[in-house]
Structure 1
Amino acid sequence: MNYALHEVLEVHEMAAFKTTCLTKSKTMKALVSDQKLKDIMQQDIDVSTRQLQEFTSILSNARH
């Protein structure tokens, strides 16, 4: 699919942000003792991982 350069750059920017969020959630989860908070953080990890996979798919299919 053909994307404009600014669209590809925006996906890159979102992927970089989600990578930072994922790293933070994974790191902080190890320090949390409350199980409910751990569960919320795990949900965030799962969602962020799926989103990064989608971004990767979009970027690998982008022709610029």
Structure 2
Amino acid sequence: MNGSFALHETLEVHEIAAFKTVCMTKSKLMQALVSDPGLKQILEHDVQISTRQLEELDGLLSKSQQGG
């Protein structure tokens, strides 16, 4: 990315981040409810991946707001 987004692109990244946050929250909540160790591990892995992805999206948005 070149560090400069059009308004609609910025809004789309915000929308993706919001959706990813909802998914991650659901996975975190489900971890407390499930008893199967395999499923718990899958949910934990999903939370870890989602956390990294949200950090990347935040970085993109920060760069875009700084102009590069």
Structure 2 runs not aligned, ≥5 long: none
Aligned CA-pair RMSD: 1.1
SS in 2 for 1:33: coil
Structure 1 runs not aligned, ≥5 long: none
Identical aligned residues as a percent: 58
SS in 2 for 1:50: helix
- CA distance in structure 1 between the aligned counterparts of 2:43 and 2:55, rounded to whole angstroms: 18
- CA distance in structure 1 between the aligned counterparts of 2:41 and 2:30, rounded to whole angstroms: 12
Pairwise mapping of residues 1-64 of structure 1 onto structure 2 (< 5 A)? 1-63=3-65
Amino acid of the structure 2 residue aligned with 1:43: H
TM-score of the pair, normalised by structure 2: 0.89
Q: How many residues align?
A: 64
